[in-house]
Amino acid sequence: MRLRKCLLVVVLIFMVVTFMRGNVSAYDMAEYFPLNQGDTWIYAGTTNHPLETIYLPYSEKRVINGTEVVNGVETTKKWLGPEIGNNYWCWAIDSEGVKKHKWYHEGFGYYIVYDPPEIYFPARLDVGETYQGSFAATVYSIDDDSILYTVTGNNSITLESVEDVTVIAGRFKDCLKFIFFEKWQTTDGSMARETEQTIWYARNVGLISGTSVGGTAGLICAKVNGVHYGCLATSALKGDTNALNTLRKFRDEVLSKTPEGQEIIRLYYQWSSVIVKAMEEDEEFKEEMKGLIDGVLGLIEETQ
């Protein structure tokens, strides 16, 4: 009898440990999709080897700024712009996962309200697991809020693997690699679209890199929950828009035109994240770097 009880206890312990391991292996998607007010990400088009080339002629800035109530749910607004059209998404995270509630696209003249919202990430996902979902949405005119059409769709996201990823902003360990697929069509059958992407997300940082039919983009720099990644000028100048615009103009219109300048750009982004980390740990060093950058700004202004 005592032996039977001991064996039963051992079996129960084994079952509990196995169950706990199963839970631990699944990733909490909220940790990979930060929505802190003020969080900022800047991406640029790259080749498949972002550290061996220069930034291409387009960039995309995403900023968390503000909230909006959509169908009774308070959502967080992630902006793209204003330089690319004052577009934004409305996101919220609950027990079901990361949800897209609205997409406002000033450039196209419409906004989309998802009801039910699209679950972009389920609450938890394990390597090799695929989530499949569906959504419905209404497309409205920005001019007068009239309904343009309604759509239905489905999506799937597969957590394919865990990888270390190197982009211009630095090297990020244990990133989650996803294969994302979305298909939607108007309810009258007049329009349809499919999207497939491979995307990498880093814990507590967010989207690091992505590839699709339109090309490849990678993270140049970011500020997430007060932590800076990548661009040392953004950190040292504390977001001084005029100074940063001067440096970016010099980068795009002068440095990028010659092989020597392209090599300077490559080295700058390769080492920026290391220098930013050092600046965060040493205020005196940060001031020294700001002085160097101010000197560069002075030289640029003298040549203009």
One-character DSSP codes across 86-98: SEEEEEEEETTEE
CB 211 within 8 A of CB 197: yes
Residue carrying the six token digits 């919220």: 92
Q: How far is residue 226 from each of residues 2, 181, 199, 211, 286, measured CA to CA in Å?
A: 58, 32, 24, 27, 16
Q: What is the pLDDT of residue 303?
A: 76
Tens-digit pLDDT string for the chain (304 aa)? 444 444 344 334 333 333 333 444 589 999 999 999 999 888 876 444 343 333 344 567 889 999 999 999 999 999 986 554 579 999 999 999 999 999 999 888 999 999 999 999 999 999 999 999 999 999 999 999 999 999 999 999 999 999 999 877 778 999 999 999 999 999 998 899 998 999 999 999 999 998 865 567 788 788 899 887 877 776 677 656 678 778 878 887 888 888 888 888 777 766 776 777 677 678 888 888 888 888 888 888 887 6
The domain locations on the chain are: 36-49+58-225, 231-297
Q: What is the pLDDT of residue 226?
A: 82
Residues paired with residue 114 on neighbouring β-strands, in sequence order = 137
DSSP run (H or E) holding 117 = strand 110-122
CB 219 within 8 A of CB 168: yes
Both structure tokens of 284? 């005196």
Report the alpha-carbon distance of residue 304 to residue 302 in Å, rounded.
6
What are all long-range contacts of 246-249, with beta carbons under 8 Å and residues at least 24 apart? 246/297, 246/300, 246/301, 247/293, 247/296, 247/297, 247/300
Nearest of 176, 169, 164 to residue 50 by alpha carbon: 169
Q: What is the pLDDT of residue 45?
A: 67
Q: Does domain 36-49+58-225 bear CATH number 2.40.360?
A: yes
